[in-house]
Amino acid sequence: MQVLYLNENRFVGEIPKEIRNLVELEKLGLQFNSFSGSLDMEMFNISGMRAIDLSANNLPGTIQPNIGSILPNIEELYLSRLTNLVGTIPYSISNCSKLTNLELSYNKLTGLIPNSLGYLTHLRFLNLGGNNLTSDSFLSFLTSLTNCRNLTSLYLSFNPLNGMLPVSVGNFSISLVIF
């Protein structure tokens, strides 16, 4: 099996750990259910995994600090509207170098938005809105994101980002459509 979509089915309980046995799995969609238990990304440590959507479930926890080594080939990661996703965005997310879509909106994430997001040069879509994320007064993460030449959509709303927009935002690729 390469693709497993079980979206919007009112499933409850923990996500079955046997998913890790689906070694050919590339895409997994479990969004809009009522899965509970802790968010354990190591369950999805399948070398060919390219897309995971766990949005809108009752999955508390943190984004593991070693996520870059857990999901080295991930291209699309959707973790929005989880019941209690807390903690910070780990620096190692930059090791997920194939990421094109990263959705972390409407969680309880805190801390600085890491400049390492700028290493995700294939990134097209980034949504960090609706958290409690911050930045230094220079908003230097924006400068780092100018390295993402394919970025078309950048959402940062509803975060306490205090500071002045840096001049570097003028360097965003002409591909940036939504900011």
Residue-level pLDDT at 177:
94
18-27, 95-104, 167-176: range with lowest mean pLDDT: 167-176
- Residues 84-107, mean pLDDT to the nearest whole number: 96
In-domain check, residue 36: yes
The C-alpha atoms of residue 9 and residue 24 are separated, in whole angstroms, by: 23
In a domain, 32, yes or no: yes
According to DSSP, the β-strands at 3-5 and 27-29 are parallel
- Residue 126 tokens read as 């980034």
In a domain, 108, yes or no: yes
7-12: list long-range contacts, CB under 8 Å, 24+ apart: 7/31, 7/32, 7/33, 7/53, 8/32, 8/33, 9/33, 10/34, 11/35, 12/36
Q: What is the rounded end-to-end Cα distance, in angstroms, of the chain?
A: 37
Residue 73 inside a domain? The answer is yes
Report pLDDT digits (tens) over 129-164. Answer: 999 999 999 999 999 999 999 999 999 999 999 888
The total of structural domains in the chain comes to 1
Task: Say if 40 falls within a structural domain.
Answer: yes
Distance CA 17, CA 177 (A): 39
Q: What is the DSSP letter of 66?
A: T
- Is residue 105 assigned to a domain? yes
Three-state secondary-structure class, residue 9: coil
Does residue 159 fall inside a structural domain?
A: yes
146 domain residue, yes or no: yes
User: Is 90 exceeded by the pLDDT of residue 171?
Assistant: no
Percent of all residues in the chain with a pLDDT value above 70, rounded to a whole number: 100
Query: What's the CATH code of the domain at 135?
Result: 3.80.10.10
132: CB partners within 8 A, 6+ apart:
108, 109, 110, 159, 160
Quote the domain boundaries for residue 49.
Answer: 3-171
pLDDT digits (tens, 9 = 90+) for 18-39: 998 999 999 999 999 999 988 8
